[in-house]
Amino acid sequence: MSADQVVATGPEIAAPAVVVPRQRSLARPLLNVLMVIIGIAFLLPMLWLILASLNPQADDTLSVPHAFSILNYHLAIRAGAGAAIKNSLYLAGVSTIIATAVSTMAGFMLARRRIRFKGAFLVLVLFLTGLPVTLLLIPTYQIFVNLSWLNSKFYTSVVLASMSVPFAIWLMKNFIGQVPGEFEEAAAIEGASELHILFRIVIPLVIPGILVSAILTFINSWGAFLIPLVLDANPSDTPGAVGIYQFMSANGQVQFGQLAAYSVLFSVPVIILYLISSRWLSGGFSFAGGVKG
């Protein structure tokens, strides 16, 4: 059969009467431009930070150093960056442990058990997540004075934990709610107590959720400024966020290079945390094989 032979293979299909040209939308290019602008707005300060930290003659303008140097890092550590980071690690670490433990247990009970006035309690918890810390600072300070808890890293950590607990409870309640109830029923019928069920069944299954909650608490506490400033005036307890502030005012003139180096050093633990935990977080919740579907 040649190419110019017409072969009738079926009913004729009517050709469309009008061919409408495809209209190009401006929305996508505009959106892309907007995203680029926002990206630049976020990236430029970070770029300045890194370049300034490696520039012995850094100022408040974005410029490439003539000669890259780590002198600013040496000076920042000598000024107390190391000790400040250690204190921040303590505050963030202890508050994360307390908040995670409390919110996991509270989240389990709220997700799984029939509790009177549970709805009202959850609304209260939600309300507390939006409460500004400044509202509570004065009464908290008064309580600390009465209990002689001032100038203590541990009790300051407790307050930092309490700031994160409401949101963490909501997170954990929702994460635990996703675990099929049949796992707990199967464990219960095997003779497991509530604690067994929590530690051997639920917690292993919500580790990604616990990590999310812990990371958010850690970051919240890592960057805490007002609470440690007010509740712990001990110079040796100064955390990173407060240390940066003091560092700026102590020298009279702002040493931008050392400030940038201090900021980079202060950011490193959090970045490492993200990198380590992203491996677990990308796994998500997998109950594969446990239940059908």
Partner 1 sequence: MAKIVLRRVTKSFGSKVAVDDLNLEVEDGEFVIVVGPSGCGKTTTLRMIAGFETPTKGTVHIGDTLMNHVPPKDRNLAMVFQNYALFPHMSVARNLSFGLRIRHESKKDIDSQVREIAEMLGITALLDSRPSQLSGGERQRVALGRALLRKPQAFLLDEPLSNLDAALRSQMRFELKRIHSQFPVTTVYVTHDQVEAMTMADRIVLLNHGELQQVAPPELLYAEPLNVFVAGFIGSPKINLTAGHIDRSGDGSALRCLDTKVAVPTEIAERLRSAQGDVVTIGIRPEDVQPCSPLDGQVGRAVVSGRVELIEPLGAETHVAVRVGDEIVTCRTPPRSGLEVGSTINLSFDIEQASIFDGTSGLRLC
Q: Is 289 in the site for partner 1 (CB under 8 A)?
A: yes
Quote the least distance from Cβ 214 to partner 1, whole Å.
19
Q: Is 119 in the site for partner 1 (CB under 8 A)?
A: no
- Going by C-alpha positions, the residue among 91, 235, 261, 58 that lies closest to residue 164 is 91
With a CB cutoff of 8 Å and minimum separation 6, the contacts of 94 are: 153, 154, 157, 158, 161
Quote the least distance from Cβ 52 to partner 1, whole Å.
47
Q: Which of 13, 190, 195, 283 binds partner 1 (CB under 8 A)?
A: 190
Q: Is 192 in the site for partner 1 (CB under 8 A)?
A: yes
Quote the least distance from Cβ 109 to partner 1, whole Å.
16
Cβ-contact 161, 133 below 8 angstroms = no
Q: Is 281 in the site for partner 1 (CB under 8 A)?
A: no
Q: Is 187 in the site for partner 1 (CB under 8 A)?
A: yes
Shorter beta-carbon distance to partner 1: residue 275 or 288: 288
Shorter beta-carbon distance to partner 1: residue 89 or 186: 186
Scan residues 164-183 and list those touching partner 1 (CB under 8 A): 180, 182-183
Length of the chain: 293
Quote the least distance from Cβ 100 to partner 1, whole Å.
19
Scan residues 194-253 and list those touching partner 1 (CB under 8 A): 196, 201, 204-205
The residues pairing with 291 across neighbouring beta strands, listed in sequence order, are 288
Q: Which of 97, 122, 188, 281 binds partner 1 (CB under 8 A)?
A: 188
Q: Which of 57, 178, 193, 251 binds partner 1 (CB under 8 A)?
A: 193
Return residues touching partner 1 (CB under 8 A): 180, 182-183, 185-193, 196, 201, 204-205, 286-293
